[in-house]
Chains A and B, each alone.
Chain A
Amino acid sequence: MNIHEYQAKEILKRYGIQVPRGSVATTAQEAGRIARELGGVCVVKAQIHAGGRGKAGGVKLVKSPAEAEAVAAGLLGKKLITHQTGPQGREVRRLLVEEGLNIERELYLAVVLDRAVSRVSVIGSAEGGVEIEEVAQKSPEKILKEVVDPAVGLQPFQARRMAYALGLAQERVGAFVSLVQGLARAFVELDCSLAEINPLVVTREGKVLALDAKMNFDNNALFRHPEIVALRDLTEEDPKEYQASELGLSYISLDGDIGCMVNGAGLAMGTMDIIKQYGGEPANFLDVGGGATQERVTEAFKILLSDKQVKGVLVNIFGGIMRCDVIAQGVVNAAREVRLAVPLVVRLQGTNVEQGRAILSESGLAIMPAETMAEAAEKIVTAVKGKLQNAK
C-alpha cells in the first residue's frame, strides 16, 4: 500500500525526523493562505502516488502568496503525467505547500527489505535528488549499505559509519545518526516495504531534514496497522483493482483486449505471457486463488468484463485438487449471469476434467474448450483478432 508524501512526513515527524514546515491545501485560496503563514517563499508540491513529479511540472517554487495561489489553481484538478503514472496521468487533488530552504547538500537515504539477505538494509548515497536506480547503474560504488540485524536493530555505529562515508561535517553527524535510526525504527515498527527520503537535505543553517518522503507498506501486515490503513487514498487506485482486493481476488489492469481468469499467480502470469506469444495482448492479471468457488468465479468474471476493452476471455484453471465440474458450473453460471457477449475459451485440467468439459459443452453457451495452455491461447487470440499474428 502506498501513501502520499504529506502523510509519510507526518509519520516521520512522529519518529523524530525533521521535515520542512508546511500544510496541505485542497484549494488555491488555501495554498495562498499557507504560503502567507510560511513567509512567502515556498514550494508547492502536487500530491499523487507516483514519482517523477518534479520533471512533470508538479513541484514549483513560488516567491509570494499570490504566486502560490496562481500555481495552485493551475495544478489542482490537472492530470499530471509522469514516467510512473502511465499515459492517462493522475489527477491532482491535494497540494503540499512547504517553506523554502537554503540547501547546502542533497543526499539519498532509504530503508528497504533486502531480499538477497532476508534482512532490512539502510541505503545511503551522496547523490541525492536523482533516482537511486540511476546511481546504482552508473556508479554503484557510490551506494552505501548497512544491513540491520533484526535481533538488535540498526546500531549507532552503522549510522555513524554511513555519515562519515557521506562526508558529513562532524557537527551534522549526530543529527544524521538519530534520523537514520528513526527511519529504520519506523520501517520495522510499521511493517514498511520501502521508506525513502530523497533528497535528504543539509541546510546552510546546519539542519538535516527530509525534503521528500515516500513510504510503502507490506499489504500482508496491514491487519496489525489500522492507523496505516486509514491513510489509504482510493482515488489513487484503479477502481477494478480495489473492488477485486475487497473480494480477496488479485487483479491488475493491463492495456490489452483479452481478459484472463486463472488460479494461482504463477500460472496467471504464464497465461498472460502465452497470450502475448500468440500475438494477443492480455487485458489483465487475475488470480482467483486456490479455492476458486462458484461465487468467486462469478465475481471475477464481472470485474474483468467491466473493462470495456475486453474483446475475449480466456479461463485457465489447473484444478489440481479442486474439481473441474465445480469450476465448469461456476464458469457457466457466471457467463449466463453476466450475459457474456464475447468469445470465451476455457481450459480446465485436474480432477473430474471429463465431467467439467461435458458441463461446458452441454451449457448451450458458445464456450470454446481447450486441452492445453497453448491451444487455449491460440484459440482466444484467433477469436479476437480473426487470425494469428507472430505465432510461435
Chain B
Amino acid sequence: MAVLVDKNTRVLTQGITGATGQFHTRACKEYGTQMVAGVTPGKGGTRFDDIPIFDTVAQAVAATGADTSVLYVPPAFTADAMMEAADAGLELIISITEGVPAMDMVRVKRYLEGKRPRLLGPNCPGIMTPGECKIGIMPGHIYRRGPVGVVSRSGTLTYEAVDQLTRLGLGQSTCIGIGGDPVHGLGFIDVLKLFNEDRETEAAVMIGEIGGTAEEEAAAWVKANMKKPVVGFIVGQTAPPGKRMGHAGAIISGGKGTAKEKLEAMRRAGIRTAPSPALIGQTMLETLKEANVRGKA
C-alpha cells in the first residue's frame, strides 16, 4: 500500500509538447510510471516517443483509461487545464507550474467543489511512491521504499529531507508536495489523513514554511486524530516580515504566519520538531526508535 498513486496509476501529461513536459514525462516513464497519454490542443494524432497525444483530456481518457493528470502548462493557461482535467473525471490532478495567479486558483477550487478529482499544487514537485510511481520533477534516485510518509510545501527541501531519511535507512511510503502557493489543492490535513489510514505508513514528516496558518490547523488536527508519530519542521525562522520568500505563499503578513508560532503549535500538538533542516532524518530515526520501544513494551 501507499497513498494516491501506485504501479497501477495511469498518467496523462497536459502540456506534453513543451520542453519541461517532454523532459519530465520521459524521466517519469523511465522510472517506471505508466505514462499513457499526452494532451496538447492542436497536436492530437501525433506522438511523443511512443506516447499518443490528444487534443482534449476527454479524448485521452476515453482512449487510454488515464486516471491521473500532470500539468506542465504555462501559468496563464493552468486554471483552464485543471478544470478540463476535472471535467474529464480524473481522480488526481497534479500541477507543477509556478506562477499561477491566486485568483485563478480561487475559481478552480470553487469549480472543483462537489467534483471527484483531488488536486495537488500548483507550484509543487509532484508525488512519488518509491519503486512504483513517480509523477513530477523530483530526482527518483534519492528515494527508497519504506514506512515514512512525507508531506511538504517545498520542493528541494523535501529532497533534502528524503535524502537524509534514505541515508539513515528509512524508506518512504509516499512523498507528496502540496506546493508553495497561498491557494492550492490538497493540504497538510488531507495528506495526513491519508497517511493515518495507510497500513504501510508508520510515521509522517511534515515540512512547512512561513505564511498562512495551515501548519497550525494541521497541528491541531494531528493532536486530535493522528494515530502515528509526526516529525515537523518549519523553514523561514530568519525571514523578515512582509517579504515574499520565493514562494508566493511564504510571507509573514500582519505579524501572522511566523515560524515561531508554527513550531510552537506543532510542539503543543505533540509533534516532534527537528532542531535544524539538517536533522529532519535524524529526528525521525529517534522518533521511530522510541515508538518501537513503546510498541514492544
Q: Which residues of A contact B (CB under 8 A)?
A: 84, 113, 115-116, 118-120, 131-133, 136, 149-151, 188, 191, 193, 218-221, 223-224, 250, 252, 254, 262-277, 282, 285, 287, 290, 318-321, 349-351, 372-374, 377, 392
Contact = CB atoms under 8 A, between A and B. Distances in A.
A269 B249 contact: no
Interface string B227-247: 000000001111110111111
B67 interface: no
Interface string B277-294: 111000000000000000
B101 A220 contact: yes
Nearest to A317: B156
A20 B246 CA distance: 37
A373 B274 CA distance: 14
Contact of A193 (B102, B110, B212, B239): B102
B254 A132 contact: yes
Interface residues of B, number: 64
Nearest to A241: B243
Contacts of B1: none
B245 A223 contact: no
B150 to A, nearest CB: 13
Given A285-B246, A321-B137, A373-B277, A269 B100 contact: no
B44 interface: no
Contacts of B242: 84
A188 B214 CA distance: 23
B118 interface: no
Contacts of B244: 219, 252
Query: 9 tightest CB-CB pairs across the interface, nearest first?
Result: A266-B154, A265-B246, A264-B156, A266-B157, A320-B139, A221-B101, A270-B277, A374-B278, A269-B235
Contacts of A275: 238
B75 A220 contact: yes
B239 A272 contact: yes
Given A150-B107, A264-B154, A276 B246 contact: no
A267 B239 contact: no
A224 B163 CA distance: 40
Given A191-B103, A221-B103, 18 more contacts: A115-B213, A115-B214, A115-B249, A119-B106, A218-B103, A219-B248, A252-B243, A252-B245, A262-B156, A265-B180, A266-B153, A266-B158, A267-B154, A267-B160, A269-B235, A290-B156, A374-B278, A392-B275
Nearest to B210: A269
A184 B160 CA distance: 41
Residue of B103, B138, B256 contacting most chain A CB atoms (<10 Å): B103
Nearest to B113: A151
B1 to A, nearest CB: 26
B235 A266 contact: yes
B182 interface: yes
Contact of B255 (A133, A268, A270, A277): A133
B106 A118 contact: yes
